[in-house]
Chains A and B, each alone.
Chain A
Amino acid sequence: MSAKTWLPLLALAALTGCRQDMHDPPRYRAQGSSDFFSDGRVNRPVVEGTVARGQLRADTKFYQGREGGEFVKTLPVELTKDLVKRGQERYNIYCSPCHGMVGDGEGMVVQRGFRHPPSFHLERMRELPVGHYYDVITNGFGAMSSYASRIPVKDRWAIVAYVRALQLSQNATMQDVPEAERGKLSQEGRQ
């Protein structure tokens, strides 16, 4: 064979050789491994003590659920229907496996042997300030681990709002129902 024929052939063969390199280029992907960093991880933690612009988190009411060292008793965010709805969704994802859908502490994981959390409907639990709930999600409590890395701050408050709604729902009386809706309720009850 002359060089005219085999050179292009060689070039073709070389090209196919490159294929896998193009599929897997030498760059880092999220959560990959690296032998450059001593912990073997591609994802780098923020250097300790770093405060990014706009992330001073000086608002202790919002970020720590405390004011002057005491737990806050009212939500530091505006209470809206959307907030409670968001809270419901997030509660069902992150809390219901243990605390149960209605907050009675009978979640599936508890039924498989996890420590029994207290029901949110106990007298003691209903009297705890909202700041305490926020603090538990952020820092964990006894056997329960912290959820800070998985739930953003705003969502934590949404969950707290929803837990309050759950507590109301299990201890409601006719007086809590708006006048216009009462007839509907008693009617449904009778059916």
Chain B
Amino acid sequence: MSQIFHPSANTIAKVSIFGAIFFAGGLLVILNEVNRSPYVTRVGVAREQPVPFSHKHHVGGIGIDCRYCHTAVETSSAAGIPPTETCMSCHSQIWADSPMLEPVRASFRTDRSIEWTRVHDLPGFVYFDHSIHLKKGVGCVTCHGRVDQMPLMYQQNTLNMEWCLDCHRAPEKYVRPREEVFRMDYRPQESQQVIGARLVKEYKIRKLTDCSVCHR
């Protein structure tokens, strides 16, 4: 009986073993890239909202403080999206006939909530709390970016575990004085290294990297 395989099949077999490893490796790289791409993390992708609410106009333009609308951010885990009454405290008179604001007025009339599209959305198995981050001197802008320049809200950071840990391992790279937490255009007066190290001591900031801090 003649041979089924030509001797060159040996080479093909060897190459294809290597090929398979490279192929599998490449697939992992691609998957990893996809997982970090805006397509999955939604970084920088502005969302459609029922009302084209602009932080750029309200925060950057008129200079309203975050807490006028996100009242709970200092005291609770969730910052909270403002109820319609908050909009109406100004829009009862400003742009009161604008069709753009009709959903707001309709919501006020009928007492049905406006259904905003969630932009930041951690998985259910992650615990997050705004109040502690603000008390320990992490600014809104560090996590949410230049909100005062966003005509429509988008996510500035991935919210990956890697991203949380980058700061939890070395908070001194990011913390600022408590009074500056709400400032969008804060610039450290001295170098961040000096200020960071001092604040970590002053606020007794711990390096929280145990799994149970975020997965409880």
Contacts and interface: CB of A to CB of B under 8 A. Distances in A.
A143 interface: yes
Given A25-B124, A27-B124, A39 B112 contact: yes
A145 B85 contact: yes
Contacts of B124: 22-25, 27, 29
B211 interface: no
B51 to A, nearest CB: 16
A174 interface: no
A93 B67 contact: yes
A13 B83 CA distance: 42
For chain A, give the interface size range: 20 to 34
Nearest to B91: A114
Interface in A30-57: 30-31, 33, 39-41
Contacts of A93: 65, 67-68
B78 A31 contact: yes
B22 to A, nearest CB: 23
Nearest to B82: A150
Contacts of A92: 65
A94 B86 CA distance: 11
What secondary structure prevails in chain A residues at the interface with B?
loop
Interface residues of B, number: 27
B78 A108 contact: no
A113 interface: yes
Contacts of B67: 93
Q: Which of B63, B78, B111, B124 counts the most A-chain CB atoms under 10 A from its CB?
A: B124
A146 to B, nearest CB: 8
Nearest to B96: A113
Contact of B62 (A40, A108, A147): A108
What secondary structure prevails in chain B residues at the interface with A?
loop
A22 B122 CA distance: 11
B94 A40 contact: no
Contacts of A33: 113, 115
B11 interface: no
A150 B71 contact: yes
B112 A109 contact: no
B189 to A, nearest CB: 21
Nearest to B86: A150
B113 A109 contact: no
A4 B77 CA distance: 47
A145 B88 contact: yes
Contacts of A29: 124
A171 interface: no
B89 A30 contact: no
Interface string B70-96: 010000011011010110111011100
Interface of A: 22-25, 27, 29-31, 33, 39-41, 92-94, 97, 108-109, 112-115, 143-145, 147, 149-150
6 contacts: A24-B124, A31-B78, A93-B65, A97-B63, A113-B94, A149-B83
